[in-house]
Each structure stands twice: as C-alpha cells, then as structure tokens.
C-alpha cells in the first residue's frame, strides 16, 4: 500500500470522507479509505494498492460483458462530429468499439496492457501496451471510456495525451461522477465506486480543472450513459440487500438475458434520465480540445 498527495494540486491537506470495501468481486474484506483534498476537492483512494498490488484485484477468471451495439452507437454519437482521422482508444480491451469505427473509415489504434490486446490485433487494430509507444502530434481523437479512474497518475497521463494529439485534436473522457445523486445517496454501497480498482473519483469540477491544467479546453459535457446510468441504482441496491458468496450474482453474470435485470432497468430508467436532466447523473462524459 502507498500513500499519495493530491494528483490535481499536490496538496497533502486531506480529509477522510468514506470507508468501504470491494463489494463487486470480494477479493478480500479489506476496508479502503476515500479522502478529499481540502484545497481543490478532488477525491481519491488513500492509502491505495501500488501498481504491483493492484493486479490481484483484477482476477483472470472474470469475463467482461460484450459491448452492445447500442453502446457503440452512443459512443459514436459523441465523436462523429469531431474531425475524422487517426483515433486512439486507451483501454480498448478486445477492440470492439475500434472495430466498429474501422468499418466507418477511421484509422484505429488502441492501448491495452491485458491479454485482450491479442484479440484486438486479430481485428486489424494497431495495439500497444502503453501510450508512451506512440509518437507526438499523431492523433486526431483520443478516447478513454471508464479508464481515468483506474490510473495511478491521471495528471501525468493527460500530459502525455496532450503531446500525442495534433493541434486542435480532441479528447473524450467518460468516468463516474462523485457529485451525482447516486453517490450521495448510496455512499459506501455505491456500485460505481468499484473499490479498489477505482483510485480517483472525479466531479465535473475537478475533472475540468485537471483537463485545463494539462492544456485542454472543455467543449461539452454529457451527464447520461445508456451503458452505465441504470446499473448504478440496481447494483447499489444489491450491495445493500444481498451478500453474495460468489464474485458475481446471477443478475450480474447474465444481465443481458436476465428477466429480473430487464425489469429493474425499466423501473430505474426514467429516474436515470431525470438525474441527467439535473446534471446529477452517475456518469459524466467530457469532450475537450487541445489548446
């Protein structure tokens, strides 16, 4: 475990705000602490697993769900009006979204450190292990879908991303919203905390500050996600009401085919939309331009 200062402003003036555990995969029963920087309001895990220790919280036997076409279309709706060209998806997994973009004429590249990179490569995607493997001023668009919260040093990563983008290139970041209605209501049981895999917990305010610090101008911000907005309520309730013995309950394992999950979605969907209209949705997606 390692203790860190604020990644946004460098302050060590921190306040504990929440203690919780790994509800999702239950790798162990260890309690982890989320702190808030008193200087800039950024919230983050502290102390936290270092880069070697964190690997045990990403078990090899977990199979992530396939990305649905509606999710790919939602992502595409965010980038389709940006300058078309070379696009890099950081955390591209099996390359499903990049394969979708390749069919639309984009020149696709990915970063994926896991074994999934081999699957992405078979789809004709140029995949590297690190963003450091690419040359500067190369990309028109860079995307990070639910990635920045996993990084040990998001500030340094954004600095490198700025160098990789061409002049007026665009960056798209999607992450959880720590100032959402769900985060405040469910607190330690909030599904999107995903402790300790998530190390940083941004609000629109703190993410904007970090982007501006690293040479980006905010173009727009979206407060709704078809993929994630409904899941927060359903699985947060699960964290409160159910104490599963396995890493995933049946409702999460087979949620695409599970009738109970479908029913829950229908019930909570209007609430998710309402939260988004108030700019209090659980997921924020920011489009930013390199200055």
**Domains along the chain with CATH numbers:** 69-225+283-290 (3.40.50.150)
Q: What is the pLDDT at residue 254?
A: 47
pTM of the model: 0.91
Contact by Cβ (8 Å): 111, 91: yes
Q: Distance from first CA to last CA of the chain, Å, rounded? A: 37
Instruction: Determine the pLDDT at residue 220.
Output: 96
What is the model's pLDDT at position 253? Answer: 46
Angstrom distance (rounded) from CA 104 to CA 98: 10
Tens place of pLDDT per residue across the chain (291 aa): 999 999 999 999 999 999 999 999 999 999 999 999 999 999 999 999 999 999 999 987 766 667 888 899 999 999 999 999 999 999 999 999 999 999 999 999 999 998 899 999 999 999 999 999 999 999 999 999 999 999 999 999 999 999 999 999 999 999 999 999 999 999 999 999 999 999 999 999 999 999 999 999 999 999 988 777 677 888 888 888 875 554 444 444 444 555 555 666 667 777 777 888 889 999 999 999 999
Tokens, residue 282: 């659980």
* pLDDT score, position 249: 44
At residue 265, the pLDDT reads 67
Residue 170, SS3 per DSSP: strand
| DSSP secondary structure letters along 203-255 | -HHHHHHHHHHTTEEEEEEE---TTTHHHHHHHHHHHHH---SSSS-HHHHTT
Q: Name the β-bridge partners of 109.
A: 88, 126
How high is the pLDDT of residue 64?
65
- Name 265's Cβ contacts closer than 8 Å, sequence gap at least 6: 230, 234
Angstrom distances, CA of residue 228 to CA of 19, 27, 71, 189: 23, 23, 10, 16
Residue 26 has a CB neighbour count (10 Å cut-off) of 14
Please check whether residue 236 is in contact with residue 182, taking contact to mean a CB–CB distance below 8 angstroms: yes
- Contact predicate 174/144, CB 8 Å: yes
pLDDT at 276: 82
Q: Which residue has the tokens 């396939």?
A: 66
Angle between the N-to-C axes of helices 204-213 and 154-164, in degrees from 0 to 180, rounded to the nearest 10: 50
Q: Which of 196, 260, 190 is nearest to 228 (CA)?
A: 190
Burial class (CB in 10 A: 0-12, 13-18, 19+), 226: middle
Do the Cβ atoms of 261 and 251 come closer than 8 Å?
yes
Quote the CA–CA distance of 198 and 25 in Å, as a whole number.
13
Under 8 Å between Cβ of 42 and 35? no
pLDDT of residue 244: 52
């Amino acid at each position: 475990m390692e203790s860190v200062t604020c990644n946004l402003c460098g302050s060590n003036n921190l306040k504990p705000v929440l203690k919780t555990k790994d509800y999702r995969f239950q790798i162990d029963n260890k309690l982890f602490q989320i702190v808030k920087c008193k200087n800039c309001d950024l919230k983050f895990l502290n102390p936290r697993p270092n880069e070697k220790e964190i690997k045990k919280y990403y078990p090899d036997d977990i199979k992530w769900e396939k990305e649905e076409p509606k999710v790919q279309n939602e992502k595409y709706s965010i980038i389709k009006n940006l300058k078309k060209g070379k696009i890099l998806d950081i955390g591209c997994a099996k390359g499903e979204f990049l394969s979708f973009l390749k069919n639309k004429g984009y020149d696709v590249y990915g970063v994926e450190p896991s074994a999934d990179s081999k699957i992405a490569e078979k789809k004709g995607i140029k995949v590297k292990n690190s963003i450091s493997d690419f040359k500067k001023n190369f990309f028109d668009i860079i995307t990070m879908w639910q990635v920045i919260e996993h990084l040990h040093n998001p500030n340094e990563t954004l600095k490198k991303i700025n160098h990789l983008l061409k002049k007026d290139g665009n960056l798209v970041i999607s992450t959880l919203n720590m100032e959402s209605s769900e985060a405040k209501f469910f607190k330690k049981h909030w599904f999107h905390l995903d402790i300790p895999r998530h190390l940083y917990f941004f609000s629109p305010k703190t993410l904007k500050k970090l982007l501006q610090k690293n040479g980006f101008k905010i173009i727009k911000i979206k407060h709704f996600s078809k993929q994630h907005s409904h899941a927060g309520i359903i699985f947060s309730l699960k964290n409160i009401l159910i104490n599963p013995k396995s890493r995933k309950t049946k409702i999460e394992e087979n949620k695409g085919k599970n009738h109970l999950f479908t029913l829950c979605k229908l019930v909570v969907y209007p609430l998710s939309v309402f939260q988004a209209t108030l700019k209090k949705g659980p997921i924020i997606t920011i489009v930013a331009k390199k200055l």
